[in-house]
Amino acid sequence: MRIFGANYEENELDGEGLSSLFNAWECKGKIKRVSVCKEALSVHHLLFADASFIFAPSSLKECMQIKLLLKKYEEASRQAMNFAKSCVAFSENLNVHDKQLLAGCLGMARVDYHDRYLGLPVYVGKAKKETFSYLKDWLWKKLNGWKGSLLNSAGKEILIKIMAQAIPIYTMQTFMLTKTLCDELNQLVAQYW
């Protein structure tokens, strides 16, 4: 079970306090760590800014413990997790009835998988071109929006350098894009020019 919780209300998330609470509950045997894949270390949570991933075995007992842990954290810190903006995903091995039961216990929307985190794809399979096709769509929309403006070549050059070339950079800092996709992005910019 993977819970993606977003937007803690009031202050910024006190990651140290929440991490300490998770570790204390693990030591007491109230929650368990899980391995995301065979090669990975086992974890029970990952935190970044105001978003968090919580990993747990898919059981009613574990859901109730996670919910209680988050309630204790809320009481101590006055920071509440926004369950309306949170979601939960389960292993494909779990049947649909159990998935619905556990999602209901948590009070969260159930999703098949978490597709994006911080604007980047969470899972990149063999079909990299399809995974990153959103970059091409995004760039195409930007370029088409600029076509109507009457810009001289200096204005177009500035837009291309500042905006169009910057769009894929954030993704390229984390993932290696395919040569084909890079060529297609360059082709869109060349057509606009």
| Shared-domain flag, residues 47 and 136 | no
Q: How far apart are CA 26 and CA 66, in angstroms?
A: 11
Report pLDDT for 15: 67
Tally of structural domains, the chain = 2
Are the CB atoms for 1 and 57 separated by under 8 Å? yes
Distant-in-sequence, close-in-space partners of 164: CB < 8 Å, separation ≥ 6: 139, 142, 143, 188, 189, 192
Amino acid identity, position 19: S
Is residue 175 one of the residues assigned to a domain?
A: yes
Report pLDDT for 192: 73
Q: In terms of residue numbers, what domain contains 109?
A: 2-114
Report pLDDT for 11: 43
Domain boundary among 71, 86, 114: 114
Report pLDDT for 143: 78
| Shared-domain flag, residues 135 and 88 | no
pLDDT at 21 exceeding the cut of 80? yes
pLDDT at 122 exceeding the cut of 80? no
Sign of CA dihedral 100, 103, 107, 109: negative
Poorest-pLDDT segment among 62-71, 86-95, 164-173: 164-173
Report pLDDT for 12: 44
Is residue 160 one of the residues assigned to a domain?
A: yes
Over residues 115-135, mean pLDDT? 75
Distant-in-sequence, close-in-space partners of 1: CB < 8 Å, separation ≥ 6: 55, 56, 57, 58, 62, 63, 88, 89, 90, 91, 102
- Token pair, residue 172, equals 């390229």
Give percent of the chain with pLDDT exceeding 90: 3
pLDDT digits (tens, 9 = 90+) for 128-177: 777 888 888 888 888 777 776 677 778 777 777 777 777 788 888 888 88
Higher confidence at residue 131 or residue 117? 131
Amino acid identity, position 21: L
pLDDT bin (cut points 50, 70, 90) of residue 10 is very low
| Shared-domain flag, residues 78 and 146 | no
pLDDT at 127 exceeding the cut of 80? no
Is residue 121 one of the residues assigned to a domain?
A: no
Q: Phi-psi bin for 157: left (phi > 0), alpha (psi -120 to 50), beta?
A: alpha
Length of the chain: 193
Are the CB atoms for 94 and 54 separated by under 8 Å? no
Q: What is the pTM of this model?
A: 0.61
